[in-house]
């Protein structure tokens, strides 16, 4: 399972379009930003799942939260709740605002996008990532952790940028 593909399968173009509308960007720019930011989020999830109680915490968050709405109802990405939820997710998976800022800064530099915009995009992308995982879990992902092992072990894509961003963690 690939997190980028999971997001595309669940929310796809509609989710990217909603984010583009929210930030006044074109869809290609948003898609590139999502691809650039997901590896760091993936590595953060991997790090958390590897900690004692981390897997149970993730599964609890996936079942208790209403994260999948960010992909099944992409218009919810236009609301401030997507940012609030995303900031909570980032605090959990990246650990600090400093790391979040570094991830956003590196992605902005690599993409040639204003870092202020990427800093605003990061929590929304985190909400989308949890939305994809939540949807997969609710659709019968009984072995979601096993699938996550493949996803997380693979770094979630992003190539060299993924390695660069993942290195921040």
CB atoms within 10 A of CB 39: 28
Assigned domain for 90 exists = yes
In a domain, 126, yes or no: yes
Pick the closest to residue 118 from 90, 157, 140 (CA basis): 90
pLDDT digits (tens, 9 = 90+) for 99-127: 999 999 999 999 999 999 999 999 999 99
pLDDT tier at 76, thresholds 50, 70, 90: very high
Q: Would residue 22 count as lying in a domain?
A: yes
What's the domain range around 26? 3-163
Taking the C-alpha atoms of residue 96 and residue 131, their distance in angstroms, rounded to an integer, is 21
Q: Give domain status of residue 91, yes or no.
A: yes
The reply to whether 168 falls in a domain is: no
| Residue 133: band (very low, low, confident or very high) from pLDDT cuts 50, 70, 90 | confident
Task: Please check whether residue 169 lies inside any domain of the structure.
Answer: no
Please, which pLDDT band fits residue 146 given cuts at 50, 70 and 90?
low
Question: How many domains are there within the chain?
Answer: 1
Q: Closest Cα partner for 90 from 63, 60, 130?
A: 130
> What is the Cα–Cα distance from 73 to 167, expressed in whole angstroms?
33
């Amino acid at each position: 399972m690939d997190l980028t593909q999971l997001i595309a399968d669940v929310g796809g173009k509609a989710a990217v379009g909603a984010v583009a509308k929210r930030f006044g960007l074109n869809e290609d720019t948003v898609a590139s930003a999502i691809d650039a930011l997901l590896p760091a989020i993936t590595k953060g999830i991997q790090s958390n799942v590897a900690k004692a109680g981390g897997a149970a915490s993730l599964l609890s968050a996936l079942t208790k939260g209403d994260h999948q709405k960010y992909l099944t109802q992409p218009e919810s990405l236009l609301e401030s709740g997507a940012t609030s939820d995303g900031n909570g997710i980032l605090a959990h998976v990246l650990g600090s605002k400093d790391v979040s800022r570094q991830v956003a800064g590196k992605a902005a530099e690599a993409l040639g996008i204003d870092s202020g915009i990427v800093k605003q995009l990061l929590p929304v992308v985190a909400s989308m990532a949890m939305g994809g995982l939540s949807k997969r879990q609710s659709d019968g992902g009984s072995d979601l952790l096993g699938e996550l092992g493949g996803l997380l072990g693979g770094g979630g894509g992003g190539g060299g940028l993924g390695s660069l961003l993942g290195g921040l963690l």
